[in-house]
Structure 1
Amino acid sequence: MHAHELDIDIRLVQRLISIQFPQWACLPLARIESAGTMNAIYRLGTEMAVRLPRVEEALKDVEKEWRWLRRLASALPVPIPVPLAKGEPTDDYPWPWSVTRWLRGETPVVGRLTDPRALAKDLGQFVHALHRVDATRGPSSYRGVHLAARDAPTRTAIAELHGIIDRDAATAAWEAALRVPAWTGPPVWIHADLSPGNVLVSGGRLAAVLDFGAVGLGDPAVDAIAAWNLLPENARDTFREALAIDDATWARARGWALSIALIQLPYYRITNPVLADNAVHVIGTICNP
């Protein structure tokens, strides 16, 4: 997916486990196929996962997750991938990596949710709980910026999508989002990447939330993007009610969802069809309701 990503395979991961965590060397190891873009994931035994950065940009996430996820986990209503061990760089693999808990559940499929309103309420309660965690000395999220900071890359993406989307409608929706008042409250803890691939469900209900690589402090609007990338229209009010957010925050969230989708689509259109398809869904939902 990235021109500069490392070549990671099961033999490499097995060597890393055998050398650094020999107590787990006899456990079965299997690659997990996912739409994730920054890390390679392997299942280790039945209770653990191995997470290795594909690209240098993901390195900071290892340290951040090691420091903060255990603290966040104690305040959240569903499990998150708390690190169990931290792997060290080697000659074969030059970066730190993690072993985390394996979390059970299935990735939800947009348009085929078992109980959209129940999931919407669960997601809203999760986000609301995260935003209430003490933010003292927390790190900034790279998505914790003002929405206007994404103006240039968003407009560039719109230009690149000639013949693929309704660029006039996308531009109008984006410019409307830029006119929404900025967040003036204190920054709060945000997951910042609540895409369908980072959500696990069981029996139609929220079972776990994955991938906290973007976690940090910022505008709470970023965490309402699931209203457009996952939930159907008839469940959005339930989600918003559980979030307890104002009109401006909801409107900024719509802008965040649009910007993320627009930037993802040209980058991943060939290399990651799952992300590209979801981006098309979001753009269509927002620009052609």
Structure 2
Amino acid sequence: MAFLPEADIRIDEALVSRILRTGAPSLAHHTPVASGEGFDAVIYRIGPEHAIRLPRRAYASGIIETEQRWLPLLSEGVDTATPVALIAGQASADFPRPWSIVPWIEGETVASVPPASRDHLAAPLAHFVGSFQRAAPASAPENSYRGGPLAHRDHSVRERLASGRIAQADQLLEIWEQALRAPQWTGLSLWLHGDLHPNNLICRTAEDGEMDLAGVIDFGDLTAGDPATDVATAWLTLEPAAREEFFNGFEPCYDVDGPLLERAQGWALLMASAMITEAGDNPVLTAVAEHTFSQLLSEERGLF
């Protein structure tokens, strides 16, 4: 079984049904169906068009509140579907934490699709990143793990690379050190998804057989800062030809220069190293990490 932090509250169908009866009575006639459990939240599908997202750990209560506050605003002008709260549930006698009724986004995670089959996702993914990354206010949620200088994460990454659990660690360390040498971001603090890897992307295959980006989920790391944090998805998600298409179709509010791309590679390595060393034997995240490492290692150093 893949590793998950231990939940501190038991969430089951009976509990979800009670929450619906008191907090969302118009949906209470549906039988909740468990559809996913992540590090922080549990998802139950509610009928054909809705889902409920509930924090499984006390820490995640703040994540749900952040999504409830900011996603309605940030999803305006963004074509890709996001889990905007349709009902922002509050703590009650039934459940002592906030919860959200969100739209059900039909499809499958991009992580479940072979990387070689993701080419058609490059353009819509570029459009999402470019449209989501707007100037953020000072009140944007803080996140000590995303958006800031890579140097703040140097110790953690070096420790992971020295753990013996990551192949070709010496070569990856060179990539990491190149990212550290890149000039820091000095532009506006921009909105960031913060965890834009393929298990947080939903795709759907159209009748003509082409795959499209149906949605972006799990905004638990939502914050603001260096846009390279989300540009890292080019290596986390795509292969070389699709990555080139991603950048050709990318229209951000800043220059995509060498330093930014070097930092983005650093962010991709940082996230992938965490997946390998901190996600236990989760086969999905392990595959994402191994794909990312292969993409980083296959590119010529000093490319930018």
TM-score normalized by structure 1?
0.90
Q: What is the identity, as a one-letter code, of the residue corresponding to 1:195? A: H
**Residue number in structure 2 paired with 1:97:** 99
**Residue number in structure 1 paired with 2:221:** 214
Q: What is the identity, as a one-letter code, of the residue corresponding to 1:282? A: T
User: Which of 76, 81, 84 is equivalent to 2:83?
Assistant: 81
**Residue number in structure 1 paired with 2:123:** 121
Mapped contact 2:190–2:225 kept (Cα < 8 A): yes
Correspondence 1:6 to 2:9: yes
Mapped contact 2:81–2:215 kept (Cα < 8 A): yes
Mapped contact 1:50–1:100 kept (Cα < 8 A): yes
**Residue number in structure 2 paired with 1:159:** 162
**Residue number in structure 2 paired with 1:238:** 245
Correspondence 1:279 to 2:289: yes
Matches within 5 A, 1:1-289: 1-3=4-6, 5-33=8-36, 36-90=38-92, 93-108=95-110, 109-112=112-115, 114=117, 116=119, 118-132=120-134, 134-142=135-143, 143-160=146-163, 162=164, 164-203=166-205, 204-244=211-251, 245-270=256-281, 272-287=282-297, 289=299
SS at match of 1:33: strand
Shift of 1:91: 5.0
- Number of equivalences: 284
Mapped contact 2:239–2:295 kept (Cα < 8 A): no
Shift of 1:237: 1.3
Structure 2: stretches of 5+ with no match in the other structure: 206-210, 300-304
Shift of 1:76: 0.5
Q: What is the identity, as a one-letter code, of the residue corresponding to 1:284? A: S
Mapped contact 1:111–1:232 kept (Cα < 8 A): no
Mapped contact 1:76–1:129 kept (Cα < 8 A): yes
Mapped contact 1:141–1:190 kept (Cα < 8 A): no
- For the residues of structure 1 that align with 2:8 and 2:263, how far apart are their CA atoms? 32
Mapped contact 2:166–2:276 kept (Cα < 8 A): no
**Residue number in structure 1 paired with 2:302:** none
Shift of 1:93: 3.5
The worse-fitting range, judged by mean Cα deviation, of 247-256 and 57-66 is 57-66
RMSD, aligned CA: 2.0
Mapped contact 2:165–2:276 kept (Cα < 8 A): no
Sort the Cα spacing of 1:288 and 1:112 in 2 relative to 1 into closer, same or farther, 3 A. Answer: closer
Sort the Cα spacing of 1:216 and 1:42 in 2 relative to 1 into closer, same or farther, 3 A. Answer: same
Structure 1: stretches of 5+ with no match in the other structure: none
Shift of 1:92: 5.6
- For the residues of structure 2 that align with 1:46 and 1:191, how far apart are their CA atoms? 26
- For the residues of structure 2 that align with 1:171 and 1:158, how far apart are their CA atoms? 7
- For the residues of structure 2 that align with 1:6 and 1:145, how far apart are their CA atoms? 32
- For the residues of structure 2 that align with 1:170 and 1:76, how far apart are their CA atoms? 34
SS at match of 1:205: strand
State the percentage of identical aligned residues.
Answer: 36
Q: What is the identity, as a one-letter code, of the residue corresponding to 1:135? A: A
Mapped contact 2:17–2:31 kept (Cα < 8 A): no
Q: Deviations over 1:81-131 (max 9, x none)?
A: 110112233456432111111122222235355450x31111111111111
- For the residues of structure 2 that align with 1:198 and 1:166, how far apart are their CA atoms? 27
TM-score normalized by structure 2?
0.86
SS at match of 1:99: strand
